[in-house]
Amino acid sequence: MKIDPTVSFWIGVAVTICVAIGTGATKLTGAIPADWIPSVTAWVNIFALCGTAFLTAAHGLSSAKPGPLT
């Protein structure tokens, strides 16, 4: 099974943005309503976790060499 590297690339970009927002490296004050910030931060952290797990699996599945489970 192969995963298109373009898909992994764009998911990696999205995960990086989610991590930046979720960790507070990018401030949302003034960009969105203050009441939304806790919810947005929570959701981007969830997306970052899921995206990181997907990228790990995608890179493992796309390798040409056998992995530790084969």
Sorting pLDDT into bands at 50, 70 and 90, what band is 68?
A: low
Residue 17 above 70 pLDDT?
yes
pTM to 2 decimal places = 0.77
Q: Provide the residue ranges of all domains of the chain, joining segments of one domain with +.
A: 5-62
Give the model confidence (pLDDT) of 38-60 as tens digits. 999 999 999 999 999 999 888 87
Mean pLDDT of 25-45: 94
Per-residue exposure over 31-52, b if at least 16 CB sit within 10 Å of its own CB, e if not? eeeeeeeeeeeeebeebbeebe
- How much is the pLDDT for 52? 95
